[in-house]
Chain A
């Protein structure tokens, strides 16, 4: 049976964010770099306890870190680490490669030839 991990040859770090909430957290943090804990819980419709569990899993692998910041009220922000950025970038490139190697897709040369024929 083919699994995502086998097909994409995911590393241990990458396997951690295969669960949907953790994947959404990583994708959001990859783009925004840091997000408030409360906003994250509301966005993902998770309870604080549930989100804390997911954040801890990501923290254990060094992909993200959370810290307290002093604003007009105390806030906890979750930030992506340099390793997290690298791991997610690596995952995206593996996904791109997977799409390129997908069976049943006509080869690029054939696609180009078909395009030329239709243009003619």
Chain B
């Protein structure tokens, strides 16, 4: 008899479970918001990385291609200009890549394990990376067949490389903003 629950106990239990469900629903919705924000940060980071690669590497190449002119303008040694261009490339690109990888790892560490709500996230990033690389290789190889002048070839290779990566970076950033607007 003692094990039997009274009607009051039953009602109390139902009330508690209803509250629990209410709280659970609230937490689940908040978790969805957090998950989408993490996805947004990850995509934004990858987009920024593409833009930086598309800016820093061509900038360094341009500096190296114009060492003679820059040395004459600044009155310094061409080797010094060339070294500065190289250091600029190494420090900026590797530094930023390291920062992005660390930040992405930090975000991913906090993301709950299991299937993401956007399971197409990684294939989409891979597609954008592949498209950017393929477009860049194609645009770089076409002038190779047509141009014999080394300096002109350099410009023709650098500009599409830069444009390809910056474009891919902007696309990824746009995709990141789309994640925010996606409803639960």
A residues neighboring B (CB under 8 Å): 1-4, 7, 20, 23-24, 27-28, 31-32, 35, 39, 42-45, 95, 98-99, 102-104
Across-interface contacts of A39 in B (CB, < 8 A) = 37, 40, 180
**B9 contacts the other chain (CB 8 A):** yes
CA distance A96 to B33 in the complex (A): 22
Asked if B30 and A42 make an inter-chain contact with CB atoms under 8 angstroms apart, the answer reads: no
Asked if B19 and A2 make an inter-chain contact with CB atoms under 8 angstroms apart, the answer reads: yes
CA distance A35 to B13 in the complex (A): 39
A98 in contact with B180 given A24-B29, A103-B13 (CB within 8 Å) = no
A42 in contact with B180 given A28-B33, A103-B12 (CB within 8 Å) = yes
Nearest opposing residue in chain B for A41, CB measure: B180
CB contact between B181 and one of A7, A42, A98 (< 8 Å): that residue: A42
Across-interface contacts of A44 in B (CB, < 8 A) = 33
Please give the number of chain B residues whose Cβ is less than 8 angstroms from any Cβ of chain A in the complex: 26
In the complex, besides A28-B37, A102-B17, 7 extra interface pairs with C-beta distance below 8 angstroms are: A1-B15, A2-B19, A23-B26, A35-B37, A42-B177, A42-B181, A103-B16
**B118 contacts the other chain (CB 8 A):** no
Q: Mark B165-184, 1 if CB is under 8 A from A, else 0.
A: 00000000000010011010
**B137 contacts the other chain (CB 8 A):** no
Asked if B183 and A45 make an inter-chain contact with CB atoms under 8 angstroms apart, the answer reads: yes
CB contact between A98 and one of B20, B29, B31, B177 (< 8 Å): that residue: B20
Inter-chain contact total with CB atoms closer than 8 Å: 62
**B108 contacts the other chain (CB 8 A):** no
For the complex formed, measure the closest distance between the CB of A24 and the CB atoms of chain B, giving whole angstroms. Answer: 4
Q: Mark B1-33, 1 if CB is under 8 A from A, else 0.
A: 000000001001101111110110011011101
Across-interface contacts of B122 in A (CB, < 8 A) = none
Asked if B19 and A7 make an inter-chain contact with CB atoms under 8 angstroms apart, the answer reads: yes
Asked if A27 and B34 make an inter-chain contact with CB atoms under 8 angstroms apart, the answer reads: yes
**B36 contacts the other chain (CB 8 A):** yes
Across-interface contacts of A1 in B (CB, < 8 A) = 15
24 A-B pairs with C-beta separation under 8 A: A2-B16, A4-B19, A4-B22, A4-B23, A7-B19, A24-B29, A24-B30, A27-B30, A27-B33, A27-B34, A28-B30, A32-B37, A39-B37, A39-B180, A42-B181, A43-B36, A43-B40, A43-B180, A95-B23, A98-B19, A98-B20, A103-B9, A103-B12, A103-B13
Return the 9 tightest CB-CB contacts between A and B, nearest first: A42-B180, A2-B15, A27-B30, A24-B30, A24-B33, A103-B13, A104-B13, A42-B181, A23-B26
CB contact between B33 and one of A2, A43, A98, A103 (< 8 Å): that residue: A43
